[in-house]
C-alpha cells in the first residue's frame, strides 16, 4: 500500500491525518535536502551517497513510528491482537537494526553500493512513515471511541 503525497480522500479525518504526516515528513526530509544541496555545491554528486546521515534518519523514522504504534496499542489496554503487534514490532526492530548496520558500515567503510542501499532504505522509511502513521491514527481513534462509550 503506497500513499501518494497528493492523497485525495473524502474522509475529513484521514485528510487531517495525512496533513499531519506530511508536515512531519517535511521536518524529517528537510535536513537531508540541505545535506544534498551542500554536497552538490561543495563536492561531487557521488558524495551524497557516501554519508551515513541517510541511515541515521531511517533509524530515527523507524524508531519513531514504532513508538507511535506501541503507545496506541498500550492505550487499548489489552484489547488488541498481541500476535500481530509482536510481529509488527519485530519487523520494525529489524528495520532499526538494519538502518544501524548501514550507518556503522558507512562510517567504517563507505561504498557507493552501500550508500545507494541506504538511500533506498530511507525512501522505504518515509513510505512506512505514512503507512504506520495512518495505522497509529486508526488505533488512536479506536481508543477514543472506546473511552467515549458509556
User: How far apart are alpha carbons 45 and 16 in whole angstroms?
Assistant: 37
Distance (Å, whole) CA 100 – CA 25: 20
Residue 21's φ and ψ, nearest 5 degrees, are -65, -40
pLDDT number for residue 6: 46
Q: Given this model, what pLDDT does residue 76 score? A: 75
Low-confidence ranges of the chain (pLDDT < 50): 1-7
The pLDDT value recorded for residue 7 is 47
Q: Is 89 helix (H, G, I), strand (E, B) or coil?
A: helix
pLDDT for residue 97: 95
User: Rounded CA gap, 133 and 127, in Å?
Assistant: 10
CA distance 67 to 96: 12
Q: What is the pLDDT of residue 124?
A: 96
Q: Is residue 95 a contact partner of residue 118, using CB atoms and an 8 Å limit?
A: no
Residue indicated by cell numbers 491514527: 137
Q: Could you read off the pLDDT of 13-29 as tens digits, one per residue?
A: 888 888 888 888 888 88
Residue 136 has a pLDDT of: 86
- The answer to whether 123 touches 130, Cβ cutoff 8 Å, is no
Identify whether the C-beta of residue 53 lies closer than 8 Å to the C-beta of residue 119.
Answer: no
Q: How far is CA 99 from CA 21, 36, 58, 63, 94, in A?
A: 21, 19, 6, 10, 9
Amino acid at each position: 500500500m503506497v500513499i501518494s503525497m497528493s492523497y485525495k480522500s473524502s474522509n475529513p479525518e484521514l485528510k487531517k491525518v495525512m496533513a499531519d504526516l506530511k508536515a512531519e515528513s517535511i521536518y524529517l526530509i528537510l535536513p537531508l535536502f540541505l545535506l544534498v544541496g551542500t554536497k552538490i555545491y561543495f563536492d561531487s554528486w557521488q558524495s551524497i551517497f557516501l554519508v551515513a546521515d541517510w541511515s541515521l534518519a531511517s533509524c530515527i523514522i523507524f524508531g519513531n513510528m514504532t513508538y507511535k504504534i506501541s503507545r496506541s496499542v498500550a492505550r487499548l489496554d489489552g484489547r488488541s491482537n498481541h500476535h500481530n503487534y509482536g510481529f509488527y514490532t519485530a519487523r520494525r526492530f529489524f528495520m532499526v537494526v538494519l538502518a544501524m548496520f548501514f550507518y556503522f558500515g558507512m562510517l567504517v567503510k563507505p561504498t557507493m553500493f552501500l550508500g545507494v542501499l541506504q538511500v533506498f532504505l530511507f525512501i522505504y522509511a518515509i513510505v512506512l512513515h505514512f503507512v504506520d502513521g495512518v495505522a497509529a491514527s486508526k488505533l488512536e481513534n479506536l481508543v477514543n471511541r472506546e473511552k467515549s462509550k458509556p
